[in-house]
Structures are given as structure tokens and as C-alpha cells.
Amino acid sequence: MRLHLLVLLLVPCLLFPAAPRAEAAKKTAAAKASGYKEIPAFKWGLAATGFSEIFKLRNREIESAEPNRYFPGTVAFALGRIDDSGHFLMLKCGASSNCGSIRSALEDRMVFATLLDSVRTPRVRKDQLYNPRTWELSPLGEKYVDILRKRYPDLSTRLGRLIGASFANQ
């Protein structure tokens, strides 16, 4: 009788291969590598709509910002369009000679802070990802942007289209 029970217990284990468990482990590893826990899957269209709305608000915020808010010795202005050189902000710098690089840095801050605002991050608050006053990304925010770059290899192109669409709708 014991031998009969042992056979009944072992036969099902032999009939089901271990491959599905290996595939499930691969899926779990892929989910961890893509940052699924930090930034769960989302609909790009919904995030794009949120990005456009937040981007418009940030443009208004730039216009009303006090001097030296984002960088010392600077005053930022929103152009309200994309100029010929591809910029959407104007920066007045005091004695700084690298005003162009500061403007590009501020545009990057604005875009990535807006992107992080438009996607769901259930484990952390937004103020842990970037400084709400200067929009400078924290190391954790940089990590989240890297996760999104890996998930969407064409992220720069997508963001460029969203920025253009934000100005077209104004």
C-alpha cells in the first residue's frame, strides 16, 4: 500500500516539467530589471496627457519665478514656443559665461521632473525624486529616469513630441 501511495505522489511530479518555473523566474528577473516595482506599467497615452498639462503649468511657473530660483545669478523666462535652436526657455545670466549650458540643464530638469510627475511611483513621494523648488533630480530620481529610458529606448523622441504638442495646444 505504501508503495502504491508513493507512486501516486511521484508520478505527477514527473509528468510536469520544471520549465514553467524557470520561465516564471525569467519573467520575475525581467520585471526587476525593468524597474516594475518602482514604476509599474502604465498607459503611455495617459502619461502623455498628464505630461502636457503639467508642462504647461511649469511654463507658467517659470514666468512667475523669482530671480535666482533655479541657478544663482539667473532669471528664467518661458518663450512660449520652441525657437530655431530647439530651446523653449530663455535665461538671463549675470556674469556667467556658460548661460547656454545652464539653460539646457534647466530645460532637462523641467522635462524630467514633469515626466516623473506624470508617471505613478507608488513607493516614493515626488519630493524624494526631485527638488520641488529647483526641479533638480535626486539620485533616486536619476535612477527612475534611467528605468524609464531602458523601458522606452525612444524616450527622448517621445518627450520631444510631447513638448512640441504642448506648445501647439496653447
Query: Looking at residue 100, what is its pLDDT?
Result: 84
Report, in angstroms and rounded to the nearest whole number, the Rg of the chain calculated over CA atoms.
Answer: 24
**pLDDT score recorded for residue 59:** 92
Q: In this structure, is residue 57 part of a structural domain? A: yes
* Residues of the chain under the 70 pLDDT cut: 1-36, 96-97, 170
118-131 confidence digits (pLDDT tens)? 998 888 999 999 99
Domain assignment of residue 36, yes or no: no
Does some domain include residue 117? yes
Residue 59 lies in a domain: yes
At 34 the pLDDT is 53
In a domain, 93, yes or no: yes
DSSP 86: S
Does some domain include residue 23? no
Count: domains in the chain? 1
Quote the domain boundaries for residue 87: 41-168
Residue 126 lies in a domain: yes
pLDDT digits 0-9 by tens, 19-45: 455 554 444 444 454 556 778 888 889
The model carries a pTM of 0.76
Check residue 12 and give its pLDDT: 53
Q: In this predicted structure, what is the pLDDT of residue 133?
A: 94
Question: Cα separation of 99 and 106, whole Å?
Answer: 10
Helices within 18-81 (DSSP H only): 19-33, 44-63
Confirm whether 139 is domain-assigned.
Answer: yes
Q: Give pLDDT, residue 93.
A: 86
Residues 167 and 81: their CA atoms lie apart, in Å, by: 6
CA-closest candidate to residue 123, choices 37, 28, 29, 34: 37
